[in-house]
Amino acid sequence: MATSSDAGDLWVRRFHPAPQALVRLLCLPHAGGSASYFYPVSQRLAPRVETLAVQYPGRQDRRNEPCLETVQDLADQIVEVLGPWQDKPLALFGHSLGATVAFEVALRMEARGTRPAALIASGRRAPSAPRDERVHLRNDEGLLEEIRRLDGTQSQLLEDDEIRRMVLPSIRADYKAAETYRYEPGPPLSTPLYALTGDADPKATTDEVRTWADHTTGRFEMTVYPGGHFYLNAHAPAVTEEIAAWLVPAATAGR
């Protein structure tokens, strides 16, 4: 059974230990998100898949730490704490910003000789399909307007002044990381890659999401759900079952 270091305890949360699971899934949050967002995912996938969730600095119990403002810095830090969790196949799941971070983590894992069991990219256009977005440069009200537009689950919470003051710095830092990221062309992954998206996502068209296929020589599949950027909130049971259908047979085959 994996044991985590002090640094790993800061970054990686395991809500439902599942020692009998053949595969682990590391979940990376969206901009402004936290590890706790994936508690229901962990609950649904256990005990078939052991779910781990990443906690970025600058929020919740890490709110006194400085935020990281680039995808590369996040990926560099995350890959350093994954060692104890790689005694079993480890798949990566990221939503929005988290999908881009997961991609960069996968690149680093493959460079070190460890291929992820899968990369599951949700609600995010492919790295090679950038947009010129500058939400992170807006004032606080402009940033809040974007969050409301995307209908994130936290938009109502942000109407509270105290909560808003507490969380806006991490949201802004995450938006900066997402919007200033630029893909550096290089060899594609060999990791199987699955893309999930909502058919009305203003942040990623289906064509932009389909371009993820260019980033792997392995298996590629794309599933489109009804909904916008946070389509997975409405379709969580279906999404988690789809993830299990991908991961469990692959882990069994590789056992």
User: Residue 209 contacts by C-beta under 8 Å, 6 or more apart in sequence?
Assistant: 121, 124, 125, 126, 195, 197, 222
Q: How far apart are CA 85 and CA 27, in angstroms?
A: 13
Q: What is the pLDDT of residue 144?
A: 86
Q: What is the pLDDT of residue 2?
A: 60
Q: What is the pLDDT of residue 163?
A: 76
The catalytic position among 30, 95, 215, 229 is: 229
The catalytic position among 96, 136, 170, 215 is: 96
Q: What is the pLDDT of residue 128?
A: 96
Judge contact between 132 and 116, C-beta under 8 A. no
Q: What is the pLDDT of residue 164?
A: 79
Residues linked to residue 92 through DSSP beta bridges, in sequence order: 26, 119
Q: How far is CA 54 from CA 9, 92, 160, 213, in A?
A: 10, 11, 26, 25
Q: What is the pLDDT of residue 4?
A: 52
pTM: predicted TM-score of the whole model, two decimal places: 0.93
Q: How far apart are CA 28 and CA 72, in angstroms?
A: 14
Q: What is the pLDDT of residue 6?
A: 58
Judge contact between 162 and 80, C-beta under 8 A. no
Active-site annotation holds for 235:
no
Q: How far apart are CA 198 and CA 200, in angstroms?
A: 5
Q: What is the pLDDT of residue 165?
A: 81
Active-site annotation holds for 122:
no
pLDDT in tens, the chain (255 residues): 565 555 668 999 999 999 999 999 999 999 999 999 999 999 999 999 999 999 999 999 999 999 999 999 999 999 999 999 999 999 999 999 999 999 999 999 999 999 999 999 999 999 999 999 998 989 988 988 888 888 655 666 677 777 778 889 999 999 999 999 999 999 999 999 999 999 999 999 999 999 999 999 999 999 999 999 999 999 999 999 999 999 998 766 655
